[in-house]
Chains A and B, each alone.
Chain A
């Protein structure tokens, strides 16, 4: 008996007429029970960042930041985060499409599994990667014996660890955009003779480009800040696997001033990227 009701609701959304209940939007003052917690929340999120700025050793900062170790770590961080984002794009966009458009049994379960790295403690992710792709891992031992490839302790290992943690952000974002996008454009393209892949390439992809960009930015930012999986799976060696977050963590053990300076760089890079791209892409979808 749910059939007619559901199709009726779907028709309503498709016609997109004005909804009677929402027409009159009164501009009311913000109620205090909302305003106070909102401001406390804002302060809570910004205070630690502010504290970082207050305690930054500004005088020794130029010296801290021009040290070769910092540049090495920053360069490696930027390279690995970008590579991890590229991997996420190549694998994640098709995966998102599969979840949004293809019908197959167990899709809900697959979606849940894809989002698992979002909630998994990154260290657990790192251990899991070691057990899968390590020299003695389930798959890794074959990589080693057939191709002589071992991922732990290599830059490629950092990219793998970061992609593992960051890709779900891209998949989720792109899937959401795909679900919001009207599939009738693709259907129209296919009735005009396009294959499903051509329709995806020429119609769907341009349609969801803002969502893909937003997902890529999120994934990039997450990869840049990734710590747990990286240090567990790829280890820590300056110039090869020591990214900025690792350098910050280890500097904190003996030289807090250096750790603060490094954190500041990471913070500045992250803010620049998020602020520069987020407004443009996020609202477009």
Chain B
């Protein structure tokens, strides 16, 4: 009897959980219309002691450095918690304009930030806090002796690029165009991490990715810098969101990111200062 009732309870709970999830999904989709009007009280009471949870939506390339900064923030501000959602800037921007409850958005390109500002979901003007430059990722030891962007056009070499639709691909195309090179990759990958993965798994000989990605991959790949990368340096803007549930703590977190300490963590990960 006990097992049966326990099972029944569990089933009810499961059903409740499933319907709650469905409701959440539905409300997340529908709230885009009323988010402009129903704005939660984004209190601007100056410099109260930050507390509570800060939800940060950040580009996937910021994962390592922002995780470290989040820990630091929690330590210096007891009672706070920083939760992250890392992902492609485009999909993060889409969730924010779709009404996702976030406090801070850090994007990998001004173009994706513009999606959020155009939808009037940002509080204030986004600030560029770091820049990222492209680098060639090759197999460890650089067996194909790749020394320049031009070397990637050698026949027989399997090169992957990011798709032109995503920021790293747009940047790569810009450098190729600027240097008048024609490069036919074996694949246009959907994001920078999957391009890098193809090299880590030795399926491709080289990929054009960000410096920070090469650094994060450790000794699984070798980085080759190339001067043309200066043609397409990516700006990373950060902004406080208008409907931020915890605006005060969010502001404090953005301050930390832009502080000397934050700068040190970010440059340590391979980012450039703006």
Contacts and interface: CB of A to CB of B under 8 A. Distances in A.
Interface of A: 44, 130-131, 134-136, 152-153, 231-232, 234-238, 241-242, 246, 249-251, 253-254
Contact of A250 (B186, B190, B202, B203): B190
Interface string B75-86: 000000000000
A46 to B, nearest CB: 15
Contact of B190 (A153, A236, A241, A254): A236
Given A235-B187, A237-B185, A250-B190, A152 B165 contact: no
Contact of B202 (A135, A232, A234): A135
B165 A232 contact: no
Interface of B: 22, 90, 158, 160, 163, 165-166, 185-190, 194, 198, 201-204
A130 B201 contact: yes
Given A250-B165, A253-B90, A254-B165, A237 B188 contact: yes
A235 B165 contact: no
Given A235-B189, A236-B190, A253 B201 contact: no
A130 B203 contact: yes
20 contacts: A44-B22, A131-B201, A134-B201, A134-B202, A134-B203, A152-B186, A153-B158, A153-B186, A153-B203, A153-B204, A231-B189, A235-B187, A236-B187, A236-B190, A241-B187, A242-B188, A250-B163, A251-B165, A253-B90, A253-B166
Contacts of A241: 187
Contact of B203 (A44, A152, A242, A254): A152
Give the secondary structure class of B's interface: loop
Given A250-B163, A253-B165, A253-B166, A153 B202 contact: no
A29 B163 CA distance: 55
Given A153-B158, A251-B165, A253-B90, A237 B201 contact: no
Given A234-B187, A235-B189, 14 more contacts: A130-B203, A134-B201, A136-B202, A152-B186, A152-B203, A153-B203, A153-B204, A235-B186, A235-B198, A237-B187, A249-B190, A250-B165, A250-B190, A254-B165
A149 to B, nearest CB: 14
A145 to B, nearest CB: 13
A235 B90 contact: no
Contacts of B190: 231, 236, 246, 249-250
A152 B202 CA distance: 11
Given A232-B194, A253-B165, A153 B201 contact: no
Given A135-B203, A136-B201, A237 B186 contact: yes
A130 B200 CA distance: 12
A136 B166 CA distance: 27
Contacts of B185: 237
A130 B165 CA distance: 24
Contacts of A130: 201, 203
Nearest to B112: A253
A253 B202 CA distance: 28
A215 B50 CA distance: 59
Contact of B188 (A44, A134, A236): A236
Contacts of B194: 231-232
Nearest to A141: B202
A82 B177 CA distance: 38
Contacts of B90: 253
A44 B185 CA distance: 41
Contacts of B202: 134-136
B205 to A, nearest CB: 10
Contacts of B189: 231, 235-236
A136 B160 CA distance: 16
Among B194, B198, B203, the most chain A Cβ lie within 10 Å of the Cβ of B203
